[in-house]
Structure 1
Amino acid sequence: MKTLSISNLGKYTTRILGISLVVLSAFGVNVYPQSRKPVHKPKVKNVVRPVSNETNQTSNEKVVNISAVSKEIEPVAVVNAPLPDFLSGEANVTVNPKQPTVVRLGLAQNAVSIVEFPASDGIYYIHEGNPKLASVFQSPTKETDRSITIYPGEGFVPSKDGATFAAISLQMRSGLVLILELVPVSDLKKNAHRCVISYDREAVISSRKVAGLAVDLGGYTKNSPPINSRALSKLVGSTRPAEEKISDSPMSELNSTSNAVFAEIPESKRAGSKRAMTDAEISKAANKRLADVLRDQKKHLSAWSSPLHGLALSLTRVTDLDSENRLIVIAIRNSASTNLRLVRGSPELQIQTLDKDGNSLLTTKLDIRYLETTAFEGLVQPGSTTFYALVYKSPLLGVNQKIRVAVAQTEAIDAPISATLNGSK
């Protein structure tokens, strides 16, 4: 047996180590990708974008063409939009007599809101929180009306802080209390054009009796006189001085106010067959006449005059109440774009004396015995019309005299608008 020398043994050992290193290196190359595969991150793919033919722009300048989106498809859809907390359009409200009732209504400029109540109940009182923001039309037939009309004031517009509101409190004759909260809206579609309030009057009375509260307010019965309407009325003196007898002496003609030949008064006007009306009858007749004019203005009013400083006039024919008292209804329209307020004492009746050429020589104020109006302290809102029913004692007129009505507003007191009264019917 041959023995390996030390030199040969070293050679074999070197070769074996070399072969082992080669094998291990080859095995390491194949194994390394597999051992790193579960933990390495995926490679980023390079996406080739098409190059635009338009002018080159930097990457931070991106232009989005909104017009390219179809008009039929909205880019943003509102989901669960909050509902308004007030009523608009046509609304119906049923009242629970055992719970307080607050009705919130939208009220827009250039619009009104009509609120209707059951026919079995009437209005006992109305309190306006701030008439400059929202006011109720003062109907001359308020004691029989079953509805109210609410007008917005000039300053009743939505505010940035949402703090502009107004409230109107009503109590019905049954005792029911209603609170109308008015919310200013800018969109006319959100205006509460009509609101019908329904409730059982007997249930209201029953619940108030249980609570020990008063019912049938105002003592309304069939035999009791009607409560005065909210139309402002005033009886200006119940007694009148006797008419002075006209003397035929020359001195009396010189001292005459008109200084003109006295006209012959028809016998029917000088001593009519109608008996003298009482104050209550005059008030009732004026109220009824005013209500008739409001119901059918085209039938009773004359053509409107040309506006002067924002005011225009229209008159009815003079109505004979009895042998002495006459009634005239005057309509005053605000054709301006702002609120106008009439001068205290307007409208005024005047006896005007003219010369032979029609020029005014003398103007004398004619006393008014009874007045009823739909105006609130002489305020006339833009585009609205206010009405006055005037009762006066018919004077004796000369051939060159006539009765006219004059109306002035606070910003043009020296330039009143006037119109001559039409003949009596």
Structure 2
Amino acid sequence: MFKHGNRRRSQAMRVVLFLLMFSALVVAQQRGQRKQPQKAVQGHKPTAGVVPPAAKPSPSPAAMVPVALVNPSQPEYMSGEANVTVRGNQNPIIRLGLAQNGVNVIEFPAADSFFMIHPGNSELVLFDEETAKLSKRSLVLRPGAAFVAPPAGSATRGPSASISVQMQSGIVVTFLIYPVRELSQNAHRCVVMYNRDEVVAARKAAGLAVNLDGREPAAKHSNGSMRFGEDGDDGDLIVPKVSRLIADVDSSRADERVRNGKVSKKRPKLSEVANRALKDAIKNPNKMGAFAKSNHGLSLAVAPVVDLDVQARMVVIAVRNDAQGVLRIVQGNPEVYVQTFDDNGKTLQLEQVKRLYVESTSLEGKLNKGEVVYYAIVYEAPVLGVLQRLRVSVSQTEAADEPATAALGTAAGRK
């Protein structure tokens, strides 16, 4: 019995030992399986069944469009042959290049004709009045006596003058003329196209005047043809005469104050400064100095320039009507500009000065007999060379189309 009991105990112990060894083996295998994925990640080769994510294709360079070379910017003015289509009650502004030895031929629809032509500055750009009267639909522009093409390499691309044309239908078309150096930049022909009936209908809907000559347009012929001259030859083309006065501007005192550092570092409110200057000029007109000799019924007085800060300057101009009738200052005047001369005194370039603020005692530029209108012009001071002069010009209508000059704002001009 004792031996039999020992045998049973030994067999039980063997079973327990086997179970312990089996359990340890199972635990070791499980730990090994947990470590295998980590080794696969740390290794160079991925485990089987794991597919690496597909790489996203990089954007194609062809998608980066457009570039500047594909769609170049349009030029500031038209050249060669230009066609402009106008719709309804549009009043377009057309920019044309004009060379020193070139002309602009502008054509309007045969169903319409000129009512009034407003030349801006006939010294710079003039139009053939005889052609306009005969054709009533064609305008020829030529360089004037003071027309100057920009020098080579010049960055100045501003217009030289403007001409506004109003047709019998009422439509107004404004032309801005840009001086150019080469004939290849010249706008040789410009055709303005529109439907007269469409323009008249749009202006009527807007409450604007139509058929400005007071006559209804002639009925169209049933055969579709149109006879020239049947819209009346009695009325003359209305072309207001323009006269231009020029004066020198004395900025020596203001320039000296800037060089000596005596100017204000903070720019004042321009409207307040200009308003005070006009009130002072009206209250103390003698501060303006003497008026120059009257030309075509108009005379000028220009006060010395006043500095507002390092860059801003202000000049006050008095314009007097010495004529017997009413005169009107051309819109946008007076103009302040820099005139550049060569060694022989010949004009090389005219460049307008940037205006910062303008205030006047007249809203519409209308001058009755003996009336004086004052202008306060704040502008950005240009850097003047030895052969450059700062000048001011005033253009008025209802006077002979001849320029007049006056030396004002300097000691020599105040005799």
Tell me which interval the TM-score lies in, with the shorter structure as reference length: 0.3 to 0.5
Higher relative contact order (Cα pairs below 8 Å, separated by 6+ residues):
2
Q: Taking structure 2 as the reference length, what is the TM-score of the superposition?
A: 0.36
Which structure has the larger Rg over C-alpha atoms? 1
Q: Taking structure 1 as the reference length, what is the TM-score of the superposition?
A: 0.35
